[in-house]
A and B are shown apart, each in its own frame.
Chain A
Amino acid sequence: MSNTAINIPGGTIAQTARESNLRRFLRRTGRNLGQFWRQLSRNKLAVVSLGLVIVFALVAIFADFLYEYDFVTSNSLENALLKPGESGIVYYHEEDIEHTFILGSDNYGRDILGRLVHGARVSMIIGFATVAIALMVGGVLGAFAGYRGGLFDTIIMRATDILLSIPTILLAIAIVAALGNSFFNLLVAISTSMIPGYIRIVRASIISVKDQEFVEAARCIGAKDFRIVVRHIFPNIFSPIIVQSTLNVGSAINWAASLSFLGLGILPPKPEWGNMLSEAREFIQYAPHLLFAPGITILLTVLAYNLIGDGLRDALDPKLKR
């Protein structure tokens, strides 16, 4: 909003006003964040989960420092199916090195922990990228549909009905099958299955606030539609979206693993949690660690996102403020 009322040469008063606005904004944001953190930290499970997610994210970011990518994708058959904690001689970088397999090795003699670490990178990227894509596309479409209404709204809502009437996992499978196996297509498939959900949430939230007085007030002082939606409406519908997004990151990781398990996502030898389990299928009888290590990793990750989502829902719900 432009401060045209006071127009002194040099603009000192306007500048001071703007600065104090900024300071007030920062102070308020700080206070809100503090309050938000106090609400969230009451939920111990959510805090623990947040810690877990941060650790996983760090592991994913620094995966190359923990295990080299070539190391976790190259076979060394003499070390196949080692139990957790056993060590073996690995021929790597043209020399034999002693290596301890902390979580054992798989049927090709590859380090399970190393593969989990690099799989974390894939899962994190998929989790965040799909949610970001779905949020952007679904958010914009939903905001338009809800704010403008009319024919556009009808078309978008019918399209959403259509996409929602195909079971989510099936839609993702069909898209990957049609576009072919690749990392990018997996992203497209998972985010497309999420978009209808976002359209519905954003549209419903916008409709619930768009007729309220503060929006009318903003329109009266001449704010443009774009500004009204971004500055006045979005802050008010922020919480359901952030909760849904957190839960969706968990589901995306789960779906990516499921698709890769079916051989419709990331294929071996690239390390991914789902395809690790798919490869382990025949060996679980002799090497149960092949089954439990990736499975528990997926379970913990998805569980952590679900718990954070629940925690956020409680922390952001004004009805529950204590």
Chain B
Amino acid sequence: MSRYLMRRILMLVPVLFGVTFIVFALMYITPSDPAQMMLGPNASPAAYKQMRADMGLDKPFIVQYLQFLFGYKHPEFGYKGLLFGDLGRSYISNRNVFELILSSFPNTLVLAAGALFFALLLGVPIGIFSATRPYSALDMIFTVFALLGASMPVFWAAMVLIYTFANNLRIFPAMSNPGDVISLVLPIVTLSMYSMAIIMRMTRSSMLEVMEQDYIRTARVKGMDEKVVIFKHALKNALIPVVTVAGLQFGQLLGGAVLTEKIFSYPGLGTIMVDAIYQKDTPQILGSVCFVALTFTFMNLLVDILYGFIDPRIKTTYTKKKARPVAKRSAA
């Protein structure tokens, strides 16, 4: 197991550097000019040149990337670099970017965790129910709901919920903030729709597959109670792919909360990111996108490791050497 872990963690390093490189390169080719932004439109060419030098923007691309990773020394615009958790200050609000990100990340985490919890709470039982009565009327109805949930644009779902529950029924507020539980209901429901659909379908198909297995028939032939067969024998094995999907969904929820947060004016990471993109606030874009990508990568790693614990069959393929084919067939 430890070898498998080491392997996965070592593989993470180039991926993380690659992510930061792509994001940095994207920001580098952005047509916006931070020096011009700091000075305003009426700056003299000399002052503009000085500002570019001060901000370290006159250096070649690769030097700027290394500065971004390892830090940039300057009394006003210096920062310690991404590796040391410091990307300097936002061009617009002049707040420390990483502090801003760390203060808004828990809000997004609450939203994503709530959405995943809600999706599992409804998705798994409905999936099990559908699998025990496949092709029944109720199963069909749930299937249609799952398909609608998977096809609905998130922002539209949010708007419909706001229109129904905030504007007309006036049950939930249209704006939400992390302190108010009632106001979190609509964004959580919005965000969970897609994941719920995926989890529901996954649970159903995985349950159906397991129910075909011989050991389920054996359990039934032994005269076991159907409830015990379903919940003790079938569910344990059927849940393995569901756990994986749920974990991957959690990562997607953290990144995909952008639209939901924007619509509900929720002060999370997504709002910070989109606002920074609108204002062309380079340090904040870099910081927030890298942060989400890193969290996403770590989530996927965690899911992989968890998967190894839940399903012993996976672990063995990594720890033992694979049996080599007798003759290597593909000639180069």
What residues make up the interface of A, taking CB atoms closer than 8 Å to B?
149-150, 158-159, 161-163, 165-170, 173-175, 177-180, 210-211, 216, 219, 250, 254, 257-258, 261-264, 274, 277, 280-281, 284-285, 288, 291-292, 294-295, 298-299, 302-303, 306-307
Contact = CB atoms under 8 A, between A and B. Distances in A.
Most B Cβ at <10 Å: residue of A211, A295, A306? A295
Contacts of A177: 26, 30, 277, 285
Interface of B: 11, 14-15, 18-19, 22-23, 26-27, 29-31, 147-148, 150-156, 159-160, 162-163, 167, 251-252, 254-256, 258-259, 262, 273-274, 277-278, 285, 289, 292-293, 296-297, 300, 329-332
A285 B163 CA distance: 7
Contacts of A258: 153-155, 259
Nearest to A304: B151
The A interface, classified by DSSP as helix, strand, loop or mixed, is: helix
A314 B300 CA distance: 29
Contacts of A306: 147, 150-151
The B interface, classified by DSSP as helix, strand, loop or mixed, is: helix
Given A174-B23, A211-B329, A284-B163, 7 more contacts: A166-B289, A168-B252, A169-B259, A178-B29, A258-B154, A285-B163, A299-B152
6 contacts: A167-B256, A254-B151, A258-B153, A261-B259, A262-B274, A284-B159
A170 B18 contact: no
Contacts of B329: 211, 216
A277 B29 CA distance: 30
A247 to B, nearest CB: 10
B254 A161 contact: no
Contacts of B255: 166-167, 169-170
A295 B156 contact: yes
Most A Cβ at <10 Å: residue of B29, B150, B254, B278? B150
B148 A166 contact: no
A284 B15 CA distance: 44
A25 to B, nearest CB: 28
A274 B285 CA distance: 23
A178 B30 contact: yes
A290 to B, nearest CB: 10
A161 B8 CA distance: 12
Given A177-B277, A262-B274, A291 B159 contact: yes
Contacts of A175: 26
Contact of A162 (B15, B159, B258): B15
